């Protein structure tokens, strides 16, 4: 029997029909197409260079950033004075800059929500979740615990994979401490990062979140009570009696006490470990950090803010969680 070779144009059409009928959306050269919301942080060009590196390997080689929506907050200098700079940088890298989130969603398979301001994250996440696109939300996940709860609620209700994390979580030193490899079972931890204040957010949300994420990476979830013992120090008590602390410093790190010894766990080593985890997440749809742990991190930071207002009085994580749930139940999601 004589075999006939199908024209390449016919094959291309068949692949397109298959993609549309199955819901699969192939990116350039079959890659997952990533879109960015918010071009007001240095994370945007840094992450894009890693995703679009022609020498990338593993999951990073299977996806690329193709479009971005600038966004920006006009009342936040740390946002509006960087939007044009990073948008122009992306254009120079061949990334399409679009005029709306809806336009972005027509072009991509997954989304990086990178807006430096946590306040618009809920509104920006809504259309992404409604479109069913896997979503990574950079720190801070939101400007309030209530907003973060609502984002995760929508994502769960719509079956959309979603996670948020500081890049510090995936540092190899902190991961080794968390697993018990370095110091054995962790008994106590003090983690630190800069504590830059931004008036539109609870004070730890803006930069202290890095140190708090380190703390929870090493200690794990289960914090029950929080005290603001000093302007630059927050202490937490875990349900098993272990104690952890956030301390404001100029750099990033953690001091750990474990069953097999004690010492410093690690330092900041760049964004690549986080970007690799995001790539795995976009490919598998499996978040590397649970919604429950992320919400506890935000509750810890809101409790620290409340304790500060109360002159250092202890604040229960459960009470902070309940108040956020009540706020959302009342429909106050501004």
Domain end among 167, 188, 222: 167
* One domain for residues 82 and 177: no
249: containing domain: 168-268+299-321
- Total domains in the chain come to 2
Please report whether residue 278 resides in a domain.
no
Let me know whether 307 and 174 are in one domain: yes
**Is 109 within a domain?**
yes
Q: Do 315 and 172 reside in the same domain of the chain?
A: yes
* Residue-level pLDDT, tens digit, the chain, 334 residues: 333 343 444 433 433 333 333 333 444 667 999 999 999 999 999 999 999 999 999 999 999 999 999 999 988 888 888 999 999 999 999 999 999 999 999 999 999 999 999 999 999 999 999 999 999 999 999 999 999 999 999 999 999 999 999 999 999 999 999 999 999 999 999 999 999 888 889 899 989 999 999 999 999 999 999 999 999 999 999 999 999 999 999 999 999 999 999 999 988 889 999 999 999 999 999 999 999 999 999 999 999 999 999 999 999 999 999 999 999 999 854 4
Nearest to 119 by CA among 97, 154, 148, 78: 148
Please report, for the domain that includes residue 122, its CATH number. Answer: 3.40.50.720
Does residue 119 lie within any of the structural domains? yes
- The verdict on residue 20 lying in a domain is no
> Are residue 246 and residue 128 in the same domain, yes or no?
no
Do 162 and 172 lie in one domain? The reply is no
pTM of the model: 0.89
For residue 196, the domain's CATH number is 3.30.360.10
What is the spatial distance between Cα 196 and Cα 317, in angstroms, rounded to a whole number? 23
Cα Rg of the chain (Å, integer):
21
Which DSSP category does 143 fall into?
A: S
Q: Pick the last residue of a domain from 167, 195, 224.
A: 167
Q: Note whether 78 and 136 are same-domain residues.
A: yes
- Biggest CA-to-CA distance, the chain: 88
On whether both 61 and 115 belong to a single domain, the answer is yes
Give domain status of residue 66, yes or no. yes
- Among 167, 195, 225, where does a domain finish? 167
By the 10 Å C-beta count (0-12 exposed, 13-18 middle, 19+ buried), 272 is classed as middle
Q: Is residue 220 part of a domain?
A: yes
Is residue 81 one of the residues assigned to a domain? Answer: yes
Nearest to 199 by CA among 262, 259, 119: 119
The DSSP-derived string for 103-121 is HHHTT-SEEEE--S-STTH
> Distances from the Cα of 100 to the Cαs of 45, 213, 235, in angstroms?
19, 31, 42
Q: Please indicate, yes or no, whether residues 173 and 238 belong to a single structural domain of this protein.
A: yes
| Phi, psi for 52 (deg, rounded to 5) | -100, 10
- The candidate with the shortest Cα–Cα distance to 136, out of 232, 35, 221, is 35
311 and 225 share a domain? yes
Six-digit token string for 223 = 């914090």
> Does residue 116 lie within any of the structural domains?
yes
Note whether 173 and 315 are same-domain residues: yes
Same domain, 209 and 309: yes
CA distances from 54 to 94, 106, 230, 250 (A): 13, 25, 48, 35
Same domain, 49 and 68: yes
For β-strands 186-193 and 96-97, DSSP reports them as unpaired
């Amino acid at each position: 029997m004589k075999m006939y070779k199908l024209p390449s144009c016919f094959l291309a059409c068949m692949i397109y029909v298959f993609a549309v009928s199955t819901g699969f959306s192939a990116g350039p050269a079959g890659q997952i197409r990533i879109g960015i919301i918010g071009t007001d942080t240095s994370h945007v060009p840094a992450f894009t260079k890693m995703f679009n590196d022609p020498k990338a390997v593993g999951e990073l080689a299977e996806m690329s950033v193709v479009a971005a929506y600038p966004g920006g907050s006009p009342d936040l200098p740390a946002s509006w004075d960087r939007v044009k700079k990073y948008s122009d940088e992306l254009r120079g890298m061949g990334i399409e800059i679009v005029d709306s989130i809806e336009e972005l969603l027509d072009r991509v398979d997954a989304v990086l929500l990178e807006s430096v301001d946590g306040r618009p994250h809920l509104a920006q996440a809504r259309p992404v979740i409604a479109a069913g696109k896997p979503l990574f939300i950079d720190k801070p996940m939101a400007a309030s615990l209530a907003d973060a709860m609502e984002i995760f609620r929508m994502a769960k209700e719509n079956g959309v994979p979603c996670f948020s994390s500081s890049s510090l979580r995936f540092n190899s030193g902190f991961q080794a401490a968390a697993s018990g490899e370095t110091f054995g079972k962790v008994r106590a931890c003090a983690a630190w990062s800069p504590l830059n204040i931004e008036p539109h957010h609870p004070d730890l949300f803006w930069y202290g979140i890095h140190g708090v994420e380190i703390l929870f990476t090493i200690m794990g979830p289960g914090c029950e009570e929080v005290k603001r013992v000093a302007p630059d120090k927050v202490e937490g008590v875990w349900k098993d009696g272990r104690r952890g602390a956030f301390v404001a410093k100029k750099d990033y790190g953690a001091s750990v006490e474990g069953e097999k010894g004690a010492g410093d766990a690690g330092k900041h080593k760049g964004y690549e470990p986080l970007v690799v985890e995001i790539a795995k997440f976009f490919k598998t749809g499996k978040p590397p950090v649970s919604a429950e742990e992320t919400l506890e991190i935000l509750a810890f930071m809101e409790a620290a803010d409340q304790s500060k207002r109360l002159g250092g009085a202890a604040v229960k994580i459960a009470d902070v969680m309940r108040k956020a749930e009540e706020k959302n139940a009342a429909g106050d999601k501004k």
